[in-house]
Amino acid sequence: MSLFIKLALGAVTVYAAIALAAYLGQRRLMYFPDPERVAPADAGLSGVEERVLATPDGQRLVAWYGRARPGKPTLLYLHGNAGGLAMRAERIGDFMAEGWGVYMLSWRGYSGSTGSPTEANNVADARLAYAALVQEGVAARSIVVFGESLGTGVAVRLAAEHTVAGLILDAPYTSVVELGSAAYPFLPVRALLIDRYETTKYIAKVRVPLLILHGELDSVVPVAMGRELARLANEPKRLVTFPNGGHTVDGDEATGAMRAWIGSLRL
């Protein structure tokens, strides 16, 4: 056997080992949960209560719920792939200061929720959270689904399936497949990826008002993906980009854009 063939076989073996390791460990590269369970009051939030949802397969999901003021919507908040509920306490407080209610579900493995996150689990759990919010007495027509980063793919599917007032996407992606392919161009991501979150397959099924928020300096999810989803979406839709914004946007500008858009909804 020639040296060239030996080197080629060695390279193929190493590449196969890397691809196998990526396949087996892909969810560790996608989900970065903070498992600590924190009470809303300990995170500096008043008027926010913990809820615990039981899933059909025996898991326990932790959620935080702050009620809306009369005439205001409730945001069903589906968060991103890192951290947990406490990490987003300031944002919850900002939203509640506007009078909006917030129901934030923690994915499996996050913030005291049991189990492990997967795309199928997250979609099923978001549906469960929607049903729980309606059981709280919140009218479906006053629910605004809010997706953040990874949660945007789930939020699109939920809004396409259920009666809601509108949909807000903060730093949305066209698909995790495309994100992964760009991040790991040396791997066959399209063939290996299990949790694909292909938002482009569902965005045209959304028939409610849509607001997309995206930072133009987002180094995690390119703003081009937000623009592409806006192009594919049905009217009424609004895309707001922030020249100095990074991955996920908050603060006065983002809240102001949400305030103006929510004010245009028929609740």
Query: What residues does each domain of the chain span?
Result: 31-263
Q: What pLDDT is recorded for position 3?
A: 53
* Rounded CA separation 122/159 (Å): 14
Give me the tens of pLDDT residue by residue for the chain, a chain 267 residues long.
Answer: 565 554 455 545 544 555 555 565 567 778 999 999 999 999 999 999 999 999 999 999 999 999 999 999 999 999 999 999 999 999 999 999 999 999 999 999 999 999 999 999 999 999 999 999 999 999 999 999 999 999 999 999 999 999 999 999 999 999 999 998 887 786 676 877 889 999 999 999 999 999 999 999 999 999 999 999 999 999 999 999 999 999 999 888 899 999 999 999 988
- Give backbone dihedrals phi and psi of 252, rounded to 5 degrees, phi first: -60, -40
pLDDT at position 26: 62
Give the CA-trace dihedral at 241, 247, 248, 249, to 10 degrees: -50
In this predicted structure, what is the pLDDT of residue 7? 46
| Residue of 74, 51, 75, 55 lying closest to 63 (CA atoms) | 51
Q: Which residue has the tokens 């076989």?
A: 9
How far apart CA 151 and CA 194 sit, in angstroms, is 16
For the full predicted model, state whether its pTM sits above 0.85. yes
- Say what the pLDDT of residue 192 is: 76
Which residues lie below 8 Å from residue 225, measured CB to CB, with a gap of 6+? 172, 173, 174, 178, 179, 214
pLDDT, position 260:
96
Cα R_g (the chain), whole angstroms = 20
3-state secondary structure of 45: coil
What is the per-residue pLDDT for 185?
Answer: 80
Q: What is the pLDDT of residue 247?
A: 93
The helix or strand, by DSSP H or E, that contains position 224, with its residue range, turns out to be helix 223-232
Asked: is 31-263 a CATH 3.30.420.40 domain? The reply is no
DSSP run (H or E) holding 83: strand 82-83
